[in-house]
Amino acid sequence: MVKKIEKDLRRFRQIVRGKIKKDLKKYITQGEMLGRKGKNIVSIPVPQINLPRFRFGSNRRSGVGQGEGEVGNPVDTEQGEGTGQAGETPGQHVLEVDVSLEELAEILGEELELPNIQPRGKKQFVSSAGRYTGIRRAGPESLRHFKRTYRQAIKRQIAMGLYDPSNPVVIPIREDKRFRGWTARQLPESNAVIMYMMDVSGSMGREQKEIVRIESFWIDTWLRHQYKNIETIYVVHDAAAKEVNQHTFYHLRESGGTKISSAYELCTRIVEERYPPDQWNIYPFHFSDGDNWSGRDTDRCVEIIKTRLLPAVNQFSYGQVKSAYGSGQFKKDLDQVFSDEEFVVTSEILDRDGILPSIKDFLSKGR
Amino acid sequence: MNLTADLRAIQEEVEGYAREFGLDFFETIFELVDCDELNGIAAYGGFPTRYPHWRFGMEFDSLQKSYAYGLSKIYELVINNDPCYAYLMKSNATMDQKMVMAHVYGHCDFFKNNMCFSKTNRKMMDQMANHGSRIRRYMEQHGVENVERFVDVCLSIDNLIDQHGEFIARSNQSYQPKSDSPSEGVRRLRSKDYMESFINPPEFIEAEKARLTAVAQEERHFPREPYRDVLLFLIEHAPLARWQRDILSMLREEAYYFAPQGQTKIMNEGWASYWHSTIMTKRALRDSEVVDYADHHSGTVHARPGQINPYKVGIELFRDIEDRWNKGKFGREFEDCDDLETKRNWNRDLGLGREKIFEVRRIYNDITFIDEFLTEEFAEQQQLFVFQFNPRTGRHEIADRDWQRVKRELLFGLTNFGQPIISVVDANHANRGELYLRHQWEGIDIQFDWAVETLRNLHQVWTRPVHIETKEEGKGRLLSFDGEKGSIQEITPAD
C-alpha cells in the first residue's frame, strides 16, 4: 500500500512541476538555473507556493535571546536575513525546490513537445552490468545478506533445539551465512558526444556568450536525459580553433578574425581520432554571429560539412546569435546550400526570448 | 503498542515513576516507528491520517531532507488525545527512549490538566480521520482541484481565530430589542397642554429623536461589535456551498485544536523537560547512561543567543518557582525586604515548591506564566537580553539587558501567538455588502504583499470586495481586494 504521505508528496511535486513548467520561459531567458546547479539537481526558486497569510512584516526587528555578551554585540552568526531588501518587492515569498536534471529535461520535453531521440541503428554498444539476482552460500563479507543469514541461523537453532524464546539470542555460524549473488548481463547502450563550437572573435559580446551558455545548458540537459553515457567537447575559434574546457569555453574572450572552417576542421579531426561514428551518436553544435572571414572559407566549411561531417554525425546544428556587428551572412549561405538537407539545422537567435524556439528547432527532429 | 519486550519493561518502569511523582495522564500508547514513518507522522502534525493536501507533502519533503543531511532529528512526538499517542524512533538508543518516555509523560500530564487544553477534543485522532474521509469524499464529488483550491483558501486564513473563543458561551437566542428601541418613538411625559413645552421641551424631544436615530443606525451595523473569530463569522455568514462550509468548519476545528499548543509552548516543553530531568536523575538513570543522558539533556535545553529556547526558559522557570516556594521567597514580606543579603539567603523551609508548580501547570498559559514569574533575579541569572536590528551594521545586536524590557518583548512575542490581531468590524461596508476587517496595530506592520494575497483568498469566500484596515509606521492604510486587483490606500483611521 502506498503511504498517504507519499500521495501528498507526489501532489506537492506535481504542483511544483506545474509551476516550473508555467514559468519555464522566464527561467530560461533569465538563465536563473545555471548558477544553482549541483551534480544531479538544480535548485529552483518557485514563487508563491507558500500559503499567504496575514503576518508581521520585516520591521519586526527585535526579539529576546539568552547568553553572554555586552550591549552592542551581534547575535546572528552572519549578515543573514533582515538586511535591508527583504520584503520590499512583491512576489518575495520564494521557496527553493530541488529538481533533478532528469525531471527538468522531462519538463522541457513536455513543454516544447520534443520527441525522444532514436539512436542511430546498428551503432549500439554492448556493455555488461552486474545485477544482484540471487543468494549464494559463499561470498565476500561485504555482500552478506543480514536478514537471510539470521533467518537461516534461527531455523537451524530451532531445528537443533537451541532456541529459547524467552532469551532470543541468535548466533549465526559459518554454515548459516548467505551472500548476495550477481549475474552479469549484456545491456545495449548508446553513447553520445556533444561538440560545442563557438565563435569567440571580437564581435561576440558578453550577451551573445550568455545566450550560448544558456542554450547549451538546456541542450545538454535534454541530451543527457536521452543518453546514459554522454561526453562533451568544447571548441572555440577565431581565426584558429582549439579545444578547451568548459570554463574557458564560456569565459574566453579573443579578438581577431573569424575562420569558421578551422573549427570544423578540428571537429572532424576529433571525431576521426576519438569517436568512431559506428559507436557514437555525434552532435556538433556551432554558435557564431554569422560573420566569416571570406566567401572562400565559407565554401570550405560547406565542403567539410558535406563530405566529412554529415556522414558521421546525427545532425549538424548551427545557431546564429544576433550581434551588433555580425552580418549574419553565414546562415544564409548554409541555408542556400543545404536547403534540402534535413540533417543540417540552422536557427537564428535574436535575443534571449529566442532561446526556447531555437532549442525546439534543434531538438524537435528526434535524431 | 508495538514495543519490544525490553522497551515495554522500560516503559512500565518509567510510567511507574511518573505516577509516583504525582503526574496524572491519560493512558499513553507508544509506537515504535522508523524515520520515514516518523517524518510522515510529523508532517501530519502528529496524526497518522489527515485530509489529503500538498502542504503535508512539502513538510515531509523538508523533514526528510534535513534528516538525510543530518540537520535535524525528531526525538519525540506526542499528541493530545485520550489515549495519548507517542512515537519513538526505532534507531534511537535505549537511554534516549527512556528519556523520551519520561518527557512524554510530562506532556501527557500537561495536556490532561492544563486549563487551555480543557476544551480540546480528546478524540481528535478519530476526528482527524473523519475529516480526512469527508474531504476525500468531497474531492470525489466536486473534483480534486476544486476542493484543494478551497482548502488552500481556508488554510490561508485559518489563523484568524480567537484563541479564547472556545471559552465564550455563544448565545443562539434570538435578539431581544432594547426598550429604548426607536420603534417606540420618543417617550413623552404626561402633561397638561399648557405645561407641555415645559415638561417636554421641544429641544429635548429633538435631541432625543437624534439620539434614537443614531441608536437605530448603530443597531443596523453588523456585526454589532468587532468579531475576533473571523472563521466562525465566515462560516455563519459567507455565501458558501454546503461542502465549502463543512470544510471551513472542519479546518476551524483543527485550528482550535492546535491553538493551545501554541499558547503553552514554553510551559509545555518546560514542564516535560522538568519531568524527564527529574525522573531520569532521581530514578531511572543507570550509571552507564549518565554521560549520554547529560549530552542529550544539554542538547535539548541549551541556550541559543539569537532566539529563546522554550525548553530552556520553561524548565528554568519551573525550577525557579519550585525553589522560591520551597524557601518561601514570595509574598509581601519578601517583596518589601530591601536588604539584598537577607533576600538571597531567605529560607522559610516551607517546602511548597512541588505543590506550587503543579498548580502553575494547571491554571497558567505562557503569557500569564512569564508575566507572573519572570523576576529580575531570574532574568539576570538566565542572562536574558533584548536584541534589535541595527541598520548601520546590518546585524542583530544585543540592545538591552533590562529585565522589564525583556519581559515586555517576550510577552509581545507571545500575544496572539505572535500573529496580528484581526477582527471583522463591518460586514456591510459602504452599504455594499463588503467585508471590512481591522488589524489592531501595535507598532509592527503586517506584510503588505502577503496581506493582499490573503485578501484575494478571503474574497473567494466572501465573494464581495474585502478590506483590511491597518497602519504602516503609524499611518493609516486600507488594503483592499475587489475581485480583480488589490489596492493599498492611505486613510485616516476612525479612532
Average pLDDT over residues A123-128: 59
Cell 488589524, residue located = B439
Q: What is the pLDDT of residues A339-348, one digit of tens each?
A: 878 888 888 8
Q: Does A45 touch chain B (CB under 8 A)?
A: no
Strand ranges across the sheet with B395-400: A62-66, B384-390, B395-400
Residues contacting residue A258 through CB under 8 Å, at least 6 positions apart: A199, A201, A203, A237, A238, A239, A288, A291, A292, A293
- Interface contact flag, A8 B56, Cβ < 8 Å: yes
Average pLDDT over residues A295-321: 87
* pLDDT tops 80 at residue B113: yes
* pLDDT tops 70 at residue A122: no
pLDDT of A251 reads 78
- CA-closest candidate to residue A269, choices A206, A197, A200, A210: A197
pLDDT of A121 reads 54
pLDDT of B481 reads 94
Residue by residue, what is the 3-state secondary structure of B435-487?
EEEEECCCCCCECHHHHHHHHHHHHHHHCCCEEEEEEECCEEEEEEECCCCEE
* B386 neighbourhood in chain A, CB within 8 Å: 62-65
Q: Does A366 touch chain B (CB under 8 A)?
A: no
- Interface contact flag, A8 B313, Cβ < 8 Å: no
- In whole angstroms, give the CA distance from residue A367 to residue A123: 13
B248 or A168: which leads in pLDDT:
B248
pLDDT of B253 reads 93
The DSSP letter of residue A97 is E
Average pLDDT over residues A224-232: 83
CA distances for A242 relative to A235, A359, B54, B210, angstroms: 6, 25, 51, 95
Q: What is the pLDDT of residues B190-208, one digit of tens each?
A: 888 888 888 888 888 888 8
Number of other residues whose CB lies within 10 A of the CB of residue A299: 14
- Interface contact flag, B447 A65, Cβ < 8 Å: no
Mutation site for A-interface testing, chosen from B366, B449, B460, B485 by largest number of A Cβ within 10 Å: B449
- In the Cβ-directed half-sphere of B286, how many Cα atoms lie within 13 Å? 9
CA distance A338 to chain B (A): 50
* A48 neighbourhood in chain B, CB within 8 Å: 453
pLDDT of B378 reads 92
Number of other residues whose CB lies within 10 A of the CB of residue A336: 9
Q: Does A38 touch chain B (CB under 8 A)?
A: no
Nearest to B53 among A8, A13, A49 (CB): A8
pLDDT of A1 reads 41
pLDDT of A92 reads 40
Q: Does B26 touch chain A (CB under 8 A)?
A: no
pLDDT of B360 reads 95
SS3 of A106, please? helix
Q: Does A130 touch chain B (CB under 8 A)?
A: no
Please calculate the CA angle A9-A10-A14 and round it to the nearest 5 degrees.
120
Grade residue A104 by pLDDT with cuts at 50, 70 and 90. confident
Reported ipTM: the value is 0.83
Q: Does A121 touch chain B (CB under 8 A)?
A: no
B249 or A210: which leads in pLDDT:
B249
pLDDT of A200 reads 83
Q: Does A96 touch chain B (CB under 8 A)?
A: no
A10 or B185: which leads in pLDDT:
A10
- Interface contact flag, A63 B409, Cβ < 8 Å: yes
Highest averaged pLDDT of the listed ranges A88-102, A285-299, B241-255: B241-255
CB B455 within 8 A of CB B480: yes
CA dihedral for A285, A288, A289, A294, sign (positive or negative): negative
Q: Does B28 touch chain A (CB under 8 A)?
A: no
Question: What integer best gives the mean pLDDT of chain B?
Answer: 89
Q: What is the pLDDT of residues B350-359, one digit of tens each?
A: 889 999 999 9
Q: What is the pLDDT of residues B216-225, one digit of tens each?
A: 777 778 888 8
Number of other residues whose CB lies within 10 A of the CB of residue B356: 18
SS3 of B275, please? helix
pLDDT of A241 reads 86
Q: What is the pLDDT of residues B286-338, one digit of tens each?
A: 999 999 999 999 988 888 777 789 999 999 999 999 999 999 988 888 888 88
* pLDDT tops 90 at residue B176: no
Average pLDDT over residues B125-151: 94
Average pLDDT over residues B462-482: 92
CA distance A83 to chain B (A): 6
* pLDDT tops 70 at residue B171: no
Domains contained in chain A, CATH given? 1-51+93-113 (no CATH), 125-187 (no CATH), 191-363 (3.40.50.410)
Q: Does A311 touch chain B (CB under 8 A)?
A: no
pLDDT of B271 reads 96
B 289-348 → A contacts, CB under 8 A = 303-309, 312-313
B487 or A128: which leads in pLDDT:
B487
Residues contacting residue A314 through CB under 8 Å, at least 6 positions apart: A117, A120, A281, A282, A283, A343, A367
